[in-house]
Amino acid sequence: MTSPLEQKKIKVTGPVVVTANRVGDGAVVYSRADGGWTTALDGAAIATSSEGAQALMTAALDDDLRAVGPYIAPVKLSAGGQVRPGNLRELIRLGGPTIELPLPLGC
C-alpha cells in the first residue's frame, strides 16, 4: 500500500525545512539532520531538492511520539549563511504569539 506522502509529489523551489509542534508542550520545532528536533531554526536540516525534503518529511512522520503535524516550510538563507523564515506564517511561528497571553489562574 502506498502512503499518502508517497502519492503526493513534493515540489521544492528553494531552501526548505521540516517544522512541527513538540508533543509535550506544543513548542515549534524543526527537524535536524540527525533525525532529532530543535527549537532553533538555525539548527534545522535544510533541503534544497524534492528528494531531500521527502527524506526529511518521511523521518518526521515516523517520529509522531515527539512531534506532530510536520510540514515543509520555506526558509531564506542570508549571504552569511543565517537561516530566516521564508514567509509570514513561519516568522510568526518562530517569534511566538502576536498577542499577550493571559496569565494562568493563581499567578
Residue 106 maps to a domain: no
Express each pLDDT in 35-81 by its tens digit: 999 999 999 999 999 999 999 999 999 988 999 999 999 999 999 88
For the chain, the three-class secondary structure string (H helix, E strand, C coil) is CCCHHHHCCCCCCCCEEEEEEECCCCCEEEECCCCCEECCHHHCCCECCHHHHHHHHHHHHHCCCCEEEEEEEEEEECCCCCEEECCHHHHHHHHCCCCCCCCCCCC
* pTM score of the predicted model: 0.82
pLDDT tens readout for residues 17-35: 999 999 988 999 999 999 9
Number of structural domains (the chain) is: 1
Residue 101 in any domain: the answer is no
pLDDT tier at 102 (50, 70, 90 boundaries)?
Answer: confident
Place of cell 515543509: 72
Task: For residue 26, tell me if it sits in a domain.
Answer: yes
Query: Sorting pLDDT into bands at 50, 70 and 90, what band is 9?
Result: confident
Flag whether 100 is in a domain.
Answer: no
